Structure 1
């Protein structure tokens, strides 16, 4: 059994009337070339192994030709930021027409900090709209992820320090000809991160629509990765809408080495966890929660769960057996369920039982192929000592 930390939210409000996110982001995404809803996969073998009735995996391994869900938030946030710069909503039928509409703003650079996926998504939007991109990554970012961002035409700058240091550096780029597109927020910088959260709401609407199409009941438990909290805020807002008459319980997942939201819940206020944050769940290596996500997730998530890397790695292998090639962050939601299986008292307290219908989000594909191959070839129970099996040999 590996290490976990848990915080039960005794003051959760399951019908909290947060500002609702309507279908406008979904309608925007549907206009983008190559849009199709990502698969909602029923995995009965894994459900049986976990002792639950149903397990759905929302597979975000290929979204608008990108290997993660991040393009949903980046595209909507960039679009809204450009509208704000133009002072009007442009008329467009294609990305070429949209690029022409924003031409008066050029030269324009989009800047972002990232552990990989968000920065790549911002870089893709910059390329599509004729903008430059400048992406800041923390030291230690996998070379494959840096190369993927550069392949989008972006300039990549490595910041000595943590993801949070990269955020600080990216914020310094803001100016008349540079828009900072961040998925986290701080005092005085809230509009764009709020649009990122709105963009992620497409996932929830797609799940609703697909289950309605199948004439199936919705999940009664949802597991979501946290990081800075943007995705978790989107999912929480979706399932805490007053119109949702049977709100599910929500579990938020983060690494034990970067459990900034769990620490904030314990402290009762926003709390920063100093680095280094070296979880193999690279997309969750965040030391500070998002200012605007915090009120939503602190009011709406039932259980905050921090898990060891081994649970995520085991999740990678189990998803691969089910035909889903997931990255370490992508498998963290399933890793959380595995941790609950090993801790039945916590599972019982959150209401995980044999009749449960559970939704997990697979948020990324194998964005670091070398790490993915090492994980598939290893066994955490026998090979892992502080990630020796799944990390590069020095």
Structure 2
């Protein structure tokens, strides 16, 4: 199976508005805010054969074990401001103003992390939430969503079918994928992720570390990597890194969309241990950004993601199945099968590389099993 795809349409700089620090200032107003760690993994860099490897560790973010709260919280506040004319002057004041409005319900579909994030911000604001999950969602992720006080509905279908059902419900849809007629809120979610990159800018500067010339990011429906492209390939940036996207081999919806030059729906089944990346169709707002701004795509096998989890744990980084995908892709890139692609993108011993570990142990039972397993294929 083809594992690499070089995008012939990508550009080093694209015509998208640069992010302001509005989302960052909002997140700083929330309880428990602090920048997530940026690890300089010198041992791993030496083993792989690059100059620097930076790992943005999202295992703890605003009280949750994944980065998704950045987008969900910012988008929720923006849409509530727009819908009800309520000004934001801190989370407690905002909650008091919303209490005077009846029957606000947030709705979304999820494989786990985004849904829990929406449930969490709803709970923080004293609002109701209904979260739709596909039938193969792990019990640990179901329990985590319920722990936030949300109503949970299990859909007899996959993630994309859950999105369709959620979209038909009465309430405020906070979905991280765009589709025809629904694109403004996903754009708020993309902007919410910019907080992470402003933190990285400061962390690199404070540690006097070289700027990355290669970034590897997970795709899923494409919202997060869209934010990566919009931040790092905007015209205000002095350096425009190479950007590579990562997907599970059985859920390469962006890979296929770029190859076919149009959004397509995978036939499936496309379940993967990387549940947060198991999507059958790319977001409508993400496709043109990926088409013009992502330089290449790498497909990762489930066992490679589990192997990456074990390696990262030795560096004291807790990374879940989806969270480890970027590091798994980096390992493939620096293997013999990645040699031609390394040469194409001029990735070598002088390269400074940034990757994202986007979640912690969101399925603790699976994480423990991976850490103990001698033969990882037995877990699949």
Matches for 1:195-210 after TM superposition, within 5 Å: 195-210=188-203
Q: Which residue of 1 aligns with 2:280?
A: 287
Q: Which residue of 2 aligns with 1:374?
A: 369
The worse-fitting range, judged by mean Cα deviation, of 96-105 and 57-66 is: 96-105
Aligned-partner Cα distance in 1 for 2:33–2:345: 36
User: Does residue 390 of structure 1 match 2:365?
Assistant: no
Q: Report the aligned-residue RMSD.
A: 1.2
Aligned-partner Cα distance in 2 for 1:349–1:310: 26
Q: Which residue of 2 aligns with 1:109?
A: 105
Matched-pair contact (CA < 8 Å) for 2:243–2:294: yes
Corresponding residue to 2:315 among 314, 317, 322: 322
Matches for 1:7-156 after TM superposition, within 5 Å: 7-88=5-86, 90-93=87-90, 95-156=91-152
State TM-score, norm by structure 1: 0.94
1:244 offset after TM fit, Å? 1.0
Q: Which residue of 1 aligns with 2:334?
A: 341
Q: What secondary structure sits across from 1:12 in the alignment?
A: coil
1:43 offset after TM fit, Å? 0.8
1:4 offset after TM fit, Å? 5.3
Q: What secondary structure sits across from 2:316 in the alignment?
A: coil
Matched-pair contact (CA < 8 Å) for 2:306–2:376: no
Corresponding residue to 2:175 among 182, 194, 199: 182
Aligned-partner Cα distance in 1 for 2:154–2:346: 43
1:22 offset after TM fit, Å? 1.1
* Cα deviations by residue, 1:5-56 (Å, 9 ceiling, x for unpaired): 2110122111112122211111100111111100000111111111111111
1:377 offset after TM fit, Å? 2.1
* Cα deviations by residue, 1:153-201 (Å, 9 ceiling, x for unpaired): 011111011100000010011x3xx101000010100111110000011
Q: What secondary structure sits across from 1:252 in the alignment?
A: strand
1:350 offset after TM fit, Å? 2.3
1:105 offset after TM fit, Å? 2.8
1:346 offset after TM fit, Å? 1.9
Q: Which runs of 5+ in 2 are unaligned?
A: none
Corresponding residue to 2:154 among 144, 155, 158: 158
Aligned-partner Cα distance in 2 for 1:66–1:132: 19
Residue-pair matches, total: 378
Matched-pair contact (CA < 8 Å) for 1:4–1:308: no
1:390 offset after TM fit, Å? 2.1
Q: Provide runs of 4+ in structure 1 moved above 4 Å.
A: none
Aligned-partner Cα distance in 2 for 1:291–1:350: 27
Q: What secondary structure sits across from 1:306 in the alignment?
A: strand
Matched-pair contact (CA < 8 Å) for 1:4–1:307: no
State TM-score, norm by structure 2: 0.97
Aligned-partner Cα distance in 1 for 2:217–2:88: 35
Aligned-partner Cα distance in 1 for 2:376–2:121: 41
Corresponding residue to 2:228 among 214, 235, 246: 235
The 1:49–1:280 alpha-carbon spacing in structure 2 relative to 1, beyond 3 Å, is: same
1:87 offset after TM fit, Å? 2.8
* Cα deviations by residue, 1:44-99 (Å, 9 ceiling, x for unpaired): 111111111111100000000010000000000000110111135x1423x22111
The worse-fitting range, judged by mean Cα deviation, of 357-366 and 5-14 is: 5-14
Matched-pair contact (CA < 8 Å) for 1:14–1:300: yes
Q: Which runs of 5+ in 1 are unaligned?
A: none
